[in-house]
A and B are shown apart, each in its own frame.
Chain A
Amino acid sequence: MLYREAGDFKTSYAKDQQTFPIAFDRWGYFITIAFAFLVVPFLINDYWVNAVVLPFLIYSIAAIGLNILTGYCGQVSLGTGGFMAVGAFSAYKLMTAFPELSMIIVILLSGGVTAFVGILFGLPSLRIKGFYLAVATLAAQFFLVWMFNKFPWFYNYSASGQISAPERSVFGFAVTGANVTPAVSYLFCLCFVFVLAWAARNLTRGANGRKWMAIRDMDIAAEIIGVDPLKTKLTAFGVSSFYIGIAGALLFAIYLGAAEVGEAFDISKSFLVLFMIIIGGLGSIFGSFAGAAFMVLMPVLLKNIMVGYLGWPTDLASHFQFVIVGGLIVIFLILEPHGFAQLWRLAKEKLRLWPFPH
């Protein structure tokens, strides 16, 4: 009864094109944003930030990035971990080389560097498609991780081979280093998530998004109606890598603080982000958030149940966690192969008619 669009007429094309055409959705969105910006920072504590909220926000950016490439443009990529490493190392090099540079600019520039690298590795996509492209991006993953290990210049010749973020602050608040408060790191990441998700939504609903989806759905027809395949695929690689690079930079600088490339950005990161978009829903910004939430929250929840309530030993619980999360993914994909976004869409369609289904 609450969720319907009767009487909600659109009188201009601009209004018909908005992201949330139904008033109920729009208000839900405004309230969520207001809650996230105005209420959460006062409630949040160290445990929540480090265990749940920061990884969720950062992986959301990575998932949106990969979703642009794979979900919207149809180019499968297994190089996410490698591109996140590019973002992280760019951030590290920029932070140590230019200590005066604002962190916001550092993060954005890291995204830019990653976009450039992504476009380079996207060049083969004009010739190879599907699984073969996936293997080519897999090469990017291994090559980039090897490169960051091999050349000590990237980690400033430190003995451990690790990179660690020096203390930097934005508007007088420390965002990296030892003196960070949970609210500040939360808000710092949230701002990036908000702006990037908003930009991604605008890009994907406009002319660029249609070009990407045209290439995804039928590349030959797309070319014949005037879409330049090379340019379109490369913009998808560029934008996608920009997002993934920012996620990598935030993961290293804000969340981890210190990282070792083989450990923090290995192939399992690529798969993790790929799982997120498959479970959340390919070709959906909401799906990227839903998938990131699922993959971040599920292990935490399971651990709390098994260790906290059932009192199992930690090592047993952590092994069981893999089994259960894996099982859940399989079950979920059998029941709803199009992910959370599709479930949500179906639920909304049902709710529009409820309780009078005819």
Chain B
Amino acid sequence: MNMQDSYITVDGRTIGAPVMEMKNITLRFGGVVAIKDISFDIREGEIRAIIGPNGAGKSSMLNVINGFYHPQEGEVWFRGAKRKPMKPHQIAKQGLARTFQNIALFKGMSTLDNIMTGRLTHMKSNMVSQMAWWGKAQDEETANREVVEKIIDFLEIQTIRKTPVGRLPYGLQKRVELGRALAAEPKLLLLDEPMAGMNVEEKEDMSRFILDVNDEFGTTIALIEHDMGVVMDIADRVVVMDYGQKIGDGTPDEVRSNQAVIDAYLGVSHD
């Protein structure tokens, strides 16, 4: 990687070197090709959006990134090193966190406990210490609780700290899920449709949180979203997918004026 490659300027904002590089990824399910020879990168400190019509392969792409699917061809480079085939929980330990399209919170646990599960990759005390609730286990519990409380303050969910998440309304559940992903202090945060099913006000809140996370913690974010207005407003760069192929890549303005992208969204006349 040369020096020119390590910093680029997008719309007046300087963003860093690539954190994650996807190189010629192809993913097949039997005869169905979900992703076909796609390459793109995600750079440090940016908000990278992946958009496309339904069934374009966006979620599959996210699943490849966090190791839930293994692509048949292509390489995933994370922080300057080629990633070996790994289990999702090992990849999480490398510093990847994500939220889900359909909320995947732990319904039987409180908001606090849910966000604390996000800290599990940072907790290393052994079982005997935990049994006695003494020494390292207790110190860890308190230290991590402090981090979690900061996230609770940040997301403005103090009042529901001890409420079981199953009882919370949808918008708040989405926020708790974001909190759980943030708690891991990820190098790269993946958001799968963070604003699906929300009203305008909730979308504005969520956009604000995403921008704040990016701004205050410097977290690199890759997100999938259907609401074009939101994507164009918050994303630094956008990848557009259709039928498993990449049809556009660039700043929101570049993507907006790309003919292939317009065709994919508005259709092509066949006369």
A interface with B by C-beta (< 8 Å): 12-14, 17, 199, 202-203, 205-208, 210-211, 213-214, 216-218, 220-229, 235, 239, 283
Question: Scoring B residues 109 to 135 as 1 if CB is less than 8 Å from chain A, else 0, what string do you get?
Answer: 100010011101101010100111100
CA gap between A14 and B139 in the complex, in Å: 9
Closest chain B CB from A339 CB (angstroms): 14
CA gap between A222 and B118 in the complex, in Å: 9
Question: Scoring B residues 143 to 187 as 1 if CB is less than 8 Å from chain A, else 0, what string do you get?
Answer: 001100100000000000000000000000000000011001000
Residues of A within 8 A of B3 (CB): none
B97 at the interface (CB under 8 A from A): yes
Closest chain B CB from A120 CB (angstroms): 19
Closest chain A CB from B259 CB (angstroms): 37
Nearest neighbor of A19 in chain B, beta-carbon distance = B133
Candidates B92, B100, B107; contact of A226 at CB < 8 Å: B92
Interface of chain A, helix or strand or loop or mixed? helix
B88 at the interface (CB under 8 A from A): yes
CA gap between A14 and B138 in the complex, in Å: 8
B249 at the interface (CB under 8 A from A): no
Residues of A within 8 A of B180 (CB): 225
Instruction: Say whether A199 contacts B131, CB under 8 Å.
Output: yes
Instruction: Say whether B132 contacts A202, CB under 8 Å.
Output: yes
Instruction: Say whether B133 contacts A224, CB under 8 Å.
Output: no
Residues of A within 8 A of B118 (CB): 225
Residues of A within 8 A of B28 (CB): none
Instruction: Say whether B133 contacts A206, CB under 8 Å.
Output: yes
Instruction: Say whether B123 contacts A217, CB under 8 Å.
Output: no
B137 at the interface (CB under 8 A from A): yes
Instruction: Say whether A214 contacts B117, CB under 8 Å.
Output: yes
Number of A-B contacts (CB under 8 A): 102
Residues of A within 8 A of B142 (CB): 12-14, 17
Instruction: Say whether B127 contacts A208, CB under 8 Å.
Output: yes
Residues of B within 8 A of A13 (CB): 141-142, 145-146, 149
Closest chain B CB from A247 CB (angstroms): 17
CA gap between A45 and B125 in the complex, in Å: 44
Residues of A within 8 A of B105 (CB): 217-218, 221
Instruction: Say whether B109 contacts A224, CB under 8 Å.
Output: no
Residues of B within 8 A of A283 (CB): 108
B200 at the interface (CB under 8 A from A): no
Instruction: Say whether A216 contacts B108, CB under 8 Å.
Output: yes
Residues of B within 8 A of A199 (CB): 131-132
* Known A17-B145, A217-B108, A226-B184; further 6 A-B contacts with Cβ < 8 A: A14-B138, A202-B131, A207-B120, A208-B127, A214-B120, A216-B106
Nearest neighbor of B67 in chain A, beta-carbon distance = A224
Residues of B within 8 A of A229 (CB): 89
CA gap between A224 and B117 in the complex, in Å: 11
Q: Given A13-B145, A223-B89, decide whether A207 and B131 contact each other with a Cβ distance below 8 A.
A: no
Instruction: Say whether A225 contacts B109, CB under 8 Å.
Output: no
Instruction: Say whether A202 contacts B108, CB under 8 Å.
Output: no
B77 at the interface (CB under 8 A from A): no
B140 at the interface (CB under 8 A from A): yes
Instruction: Say whether A213 contacts B109, CB under 8 Å.
Output: yes
Residues of B within 8 A of A217 (CB): 105-109
Residues of B within 8 A of A222 (CB): 106, 117
**CB-defined A-B contacts under 8 Å, sample of 16:** A202-B133, A203-B127, A206-B137, A207-B123, A210-B109, A210-B113, A210-B116, A210-B117, A211-B120, A213-B106, A213-B108, A216-B108, A221-B105, A225-B121, A225-B184, A228-B89
CA gap between A223 and B96 in the complex, in Å: 12
Closest chain A CB from B187 CB (angstroms): 13
Nearest neighbor of B125 in chain A, beta-carbon distance = A207
Closest chain A CB from B255 CB (angstroms): 29
CA gap between A31 and B118 in the complex, in Å: 37
Question: Scoring B residues 181 to 198 as 1 if CB is less than 8 Å from chain A, else 0, what string do you get?
Answer: 100100000000000000
Residues of A within 8 A of B146 (CB): 13
Query: Closest 3 CB pairs between A and B?
Result: A226-B92, A221-B104, A217-B106
CA gap between A254 and B180 in the complex, in Å: 47
Residues of B within 8 A of A221 (CB): 100, 104-106
CA gap between A226 and B98 in the complex, in Å: 11
Nearest neighbor of A229 in chain B, beta-carbon distance = B89
Instruction: Say whether B106 contacts A218, CB under 8 Å.
Output: yes
Closest chain A CB from B214 CB (angstroms): 20
Instruction: Say whether B92 contacts A224, CB under 8 Å.
Output: yes
Closest chain A CB from B202 CB (angstroms): 22
Closest chain A CB from B260 CB (angstroms): 32
Residues of B within 8 A of A225 (CB): 92, 97, 117-118, 120-121, 180-181, 184
Q: Given A199-B131, A214-B106, decide whether A227 and B113 contact each other with a Cβ distance below 8 A.
A: no
Instruction: Say whether A207 contacts B140, CB under 8 Å.
Output: yes
Closest chain A CB from B247 CB (angstroms): 28
Instruction: Say whether B140 contacts A224, CB under 8 Å.
Output: no
Candidates A203, A227, A235; contact of B120 at CB < 8 Å: A227
Nearest neighbor of B137 in chain A, beta-carbon distance = A206
Nearest neighbor of A195 in chain B, beta-carbon distance = B131
CA gap between A226 and B118 in the complex, in Å: 8
Nearest neighbor of A213 in chain B, beta-carbon distance = B109
